[in-house]
Amino acid sequence: MDRGQQKSRTGAGRCFFILAGIVALIAGVSFYIHCVLVKIPDEIYVRHTETTTVSLNIPVTGEKVLTHTASAENTGYHGADANAGQVVDFNRPVTFVGGSVGEYKMRLKLFGLFEIRTVSVNVVHERYVYPCGFQIGMYLKTDGVLAVSIGELQDADGNIVRPCENIIFQGDYIVAVNGEKLDAKSKLMQKVKDSGGEPMVLTVRRNGSDIDVCVVPAADADGEYKIGLWVKDDAQGIGTVTFIDSQDRFGALGHGISDSQTASLLTVKSGALYNTRIISIVKGSNGEPGEFIGTIDYSLENRLGAIGQNTNCGIFGKLDTDLIRKYGLSEMLVGYSHEVHTGEACIRMYDGREYKDYAVEITDTSVNDNKNITFKVVSEALLEKTNGIVQGMSGCPIIQDGKIVGAVTHVFVEDCRSGYGVFIEKMLNKLPD
């Protein structure tokens, strides 16, 4: 090997290590920014009669951006490094001062240089809701017919055909057939059966847009026309109501209702709550979540209210009956995300006769998604009853320091005594007007 070749290979090696170092640096910075962002809430709430101290302990500064709903005179904040009340250092505790009800924006910069997020600071009245914790039955109708899976069939000639392949996709909602609105899977099946094998124009809702596609049904060995598509148009189950407000609006579950096969949030056209009777509880075990076993009577006289929204933070709607009086509920102050801390808390659940608060320990908090509160069940009574968190408990209120701060959402599959919860403020923000 001559000296020129050796220098060339040495130079290439240096370039490789420099490039690898740059990639590693970028990855490290990205990870660090992610770790900072998960500590920053989208919104900060300040009760108008109080001051609120927020301790984020991150190298971020905040600068107020005034809006038409708030002014420097009626809202403010100060901190250890406050500059005329306008710029603060979130590496130290920051105190927000209440005043007239309103909102302003705060622009956040990492190390005071790089803008990473704008948050809303809301000066609000004290807010109260009625914590619940009782189980209900749910029934929902999808907005259109959901394509669950794309299949195949054997036609009259013995060929394997897939009429919907690369035309309809899992997660699509079929909302019309040949221009006629579709509201039930039975109607779609009948249209296919009566098609005579002629092409059908299906209007499909995909990623928020409606598009027309053409599908040609195929006759099976019995001469019946099919398109090889598995669909659903409803969902049902048992969950827990988290809260009711003074306007008879409710929030439940703490997480959305998704299709088990597509894992996508169901787009709901309508739905209702019903009384349910819990027959038994299958205790959870590590690796095998337990569940409530119950019966639901879907008769009109058993209906409790209407479901209007299915969101990633739960289901929401309006009640038909006075459940506040029926269950003897009492109002409780809402606690916001910055008030939630590690340590003692409880989850509330109705056991068929009375409400009981079961002790849990909050072990961590995060603003990421709707898994905001991490907790572990420490109540011996609840462990005896369920062995931890089971399916059907989603929506049980989480209470800390005499305030409702969240709702149970998920159980740890490998540790049934531990679970996640969502901040109550995220649920309240989803309430219908």
Q: Could you give the 3-state DSSP secondary structure of residue 428?
A: helix
Quick: pLDDT tens for 91-105: 888 888 877 888 888
Q: What is the pLDDT of residue 3?
A: 53
Q: Could you give the 3-state DSSP secondary structure of residue 21?
A: helix
Helices (H), 291-348: 323-326
Quick: pLDDT tens for 37-52: 777 787 888 888 888 8
Q: What is the pLDDT of residue 112?
A: 80
Q: What is the pLDDT of residue 406?
A: 97
Question: In percent, how much of the chain has pLDDT > 70?
Answer: 88
Name the nearest CA neighbour of 275 among 337, 225, 326: 326
Tokens representing residue 259 in the block = 């299709």
Q: What is the pLDDT of residue 71?
A: 39
CA-based torsion, 163, 168, 174, 177: positive or negative: negative
Half-sphere exposure in the Cβ direction for 92 (13 Å, CA): 9
33-44 as b/e: b if 16+ CB within 10 A: eeebbeebbebb
**Correct CATH for 131-138+236-428 of 1.25.40, 3.20.20, 2.40.10, 1.20.1180:** 2.40.10
Please tell me the distance from the alpha carbon of residue 427 to that of residue 395, in angstroms, as a whole number: 10
User: What is the pLDDT tens value at each position of the chain, 433 positions in all?
Assistant: 555 555 555 666 666 667 766 776 666 666 666 666 777 787 888 888 888 888 888 888 888 876 544 433 334 554 333 333 468 888 888 888 877 888 888 888 888 888 888 888 888 889 999 999 999 999 999 999 999 999 889 888 888 999 999 999 999 999 999 999 998 999 999 999 999 999 999 999 998 899 999 999 999 888 999 999 999 999 999 999 999 999 999 999 999 998 877 778 898 899 999 999 888 889 988 888 889 999 998 999 999 999 999 999 999 999 998 899 988 899 999 999 989 999 999 999 987 778 899 999 999 998 877 889 999 999 999 999 999 999 999 999 999 999 999 999 999 989 999 999 999 999 999 988 7
* Residue 231 Cα to chain centre, angstroms: 24
Q: What is the pLDDT of residue 84?
A: 36
Report in angstroms the alpha-carbon separations of 243 from 26, 131, 302, 363, 406: 44, 5, 20, 24, 10
pTM equals 0.84
Q: What does the longest C-alpha to C-alpha distance in the chain come to?
A: 93
The CATH code for residues 152-227 is 2.30.42.10
Please tell me the distance from the alpha carbon of residue 339 to that of residue 110, in angstroms, as a whole number: 23
Half-sphere exposure in the Cβ direction for 46 (13 Å, CA): 27
Contacts of 21 (CB under 8 A, 6+ apart): none
Quick: pLDDT tens for 318-331: 999 889 998 889 99
Question: In percent, how much of the chain has pLDDT > 90?
Answer: 55
Please tell me the distance from the alpha carbon of residue 410 to that of residue 369, in angstroms, as a whole number: 13
Q: What is the pLDDT of residue 9?
A: 58
What 8-state DSSP symbol labels residue 14? H
Residue in the block written with tokens 């705060």? 106
Please tell me the distance from the alpha carbon of residue 245 to that of residue 195, in angstroms, as a whole number: 50
The pair phi, psi for residue 19, each rounded to 5°, is -65, -45
Residue in the block written with tokens 């190298």? 59
The CATH code for residues 43-126 is 2.60.40
Is residue 241 within 8 Å of 395, Cβ to Cβ? yes
Is residue 257 within 8 Å of 310, Cβ to Cβ? yes
Q: What is the pLDDT of residue 205?
A: 94
Q: Using alpha carbons only, what angle is made at residue 409 by residues 407 and 415, rounded to the nearest 5 degrees?
A: 120
